[in-house]
């Protein structure tokens, strides 16, 4: 997955996004996903919603787009420099959303959700490293595997000399070179919400065999 969201969560009653560190008897220790990286404890009363389990409603009632895929689409189109912010006007935000998910459900995905999506993406893209998928790395590998006849002849010509050197100096060891359907159904902190009405905006990504239950 491009951005690893397995340990990134939105927590009710706590603004921003957090990285889950470890569980405790009182709840879970979390680290804010910002430059300060402040650690605190989210109690059992707080609802912790992993971004990986959040998806966006589409016009097909039974289909949603996982947030991980949404972030990947944004990265492919904009990289880490978005043209909108959570303070952009509604028309610009709606246009942005339509570019990323043309068939997103205009009735079930509120403008507040699009603002959250933009804020979340900015936080994630600024703190996490984008991971290239295997399909995006074939060029370098192909270049290594494809060698011209002249290049292949050179190592053969040096093979005897290398063998002689290793015999005289002894065997040398070689060291290998290696290092919230976004509508969030209340999972987003109340402090982040405006006076906009609450919408059952969170839906777990649909599965063709065992669809997950949508948030109520």
Question: Are 64 and 53 in contact, with CB atoms under 8 Å apart?
Answer: no
In the chain the first and final C-alpha atoms are separated, in Å, by 27
For residue 109, pLDDT over 50 is answered with: yes
Q: Tokens 């050179």 appear where? A: 154
Closest CA relative to residue 56, chosen from 104, 91, 90, 103: 104
| % the chain with pLDDT above 70 | 61
CA distance 216 to 203: 8
- Region 24-40 average pLDDT: 91
* Cβ count within 10 A of residue 123: 17
Helix (H) or strand (E) segment spanning residue 130: none
Phi then psi for residue 64, to 5 deg, are -135, 165
pLDDT at 26: 85
pTM of the model: 0.63
CA distance 189 to 11: 6
Phi then psi for residue 27, to 5 deg, are 160, -115
CATH number, domain with residue 85: 1.10.10.1650
Residue 100: domain span: 8-132+180-192
Q: Specify if 28 maps to a domain.
A: yes
- Region 109-115 average pLDDT: 96
Q: Specify if 152 maps to a domain.
A: no
Closest CA relative to residue 98, chosen from 88, 87, 109: 109
Longest Cα separation, the chain:
81
The CA dihedral of 61, 97, 16, 87, to the nearest 10 degrees, is: -140
pLDDT at 130: 86
pLDDT band at residue 153 under the 50/70/90 scheme: very low
Q: What is the mean pLDDT of the chain?
A: 74
pLDDT at 74: 95
pLDDT at 209: 45
Q: Specify if 120 maps to a domain.
A: yes
pLDDT in tens, 49-99: 999 999 999 999 999 999 999 999 999 999 989 989 999 999 999 999 999
Q: Specify if 50 maps to a domain.
A: yes
The residues near 133 (Cβ < 8 Å, ≥ 6 apart) are 2
Question: Are 93 and 84 in contact, with CB atoms under 8 Å apart?
Answer: yes
Count of domains observed in the chain: 1
For residue 139, pLDDT over 80 is answered with: no
The neighbouring-strand residues paired with 50 are 9
186 versus 141: which is more confidently predicted? 141
Q: Specify if 161 maps to a domain.
A: no
pLDDT at 3: 87
Both tokens assigned to 8: 């990134």
């Amino acid at each position: 997955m491009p951005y690893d969201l397995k340990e990134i969560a939105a927590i009710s009653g706590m603004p921003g996004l957090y990285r889950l560190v470890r569980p405790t008897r009182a709840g879970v220790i979390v680290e804010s996903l910002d430059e300060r990286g402040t650690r605190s404890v989210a109690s059992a009363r707080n609802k912790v919603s992993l971004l990986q389990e959040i998806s966006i409603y589409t016009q097909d009632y039974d289909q949603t787009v996982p947030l991980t895929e949404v972030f990947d689409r944004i990265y492919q189109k904009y990289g880490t420099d978005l043209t909108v912010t959570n303070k952009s006007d509604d028309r610009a935000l709606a246009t942005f959303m339509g570019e990323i998910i043309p068939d997103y459900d205009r009735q079930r995905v509120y403008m507040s959700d699009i603002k959250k999506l933009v804020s979340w993406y900015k936080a994630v893209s600024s703190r996490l490293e984008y991971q290239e998928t295997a399909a995006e790395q074939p060029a370098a590998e192909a270049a290594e595997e494809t060698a011209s006849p002249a290049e292949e002849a050179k190592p053969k010509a040096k093979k005897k000399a290398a063998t002689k050197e290793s015999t005289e100096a002894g065997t040398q060891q070689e060291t290998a070179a290696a290092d919230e359907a976004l509508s969030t159904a209340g999972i987003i902190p109340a402090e982040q919400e405006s006076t906009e009405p609450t919408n059952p905006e969170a839906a777990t990504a649909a599965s063709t065999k065992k669809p997950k239950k949508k948030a109520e």
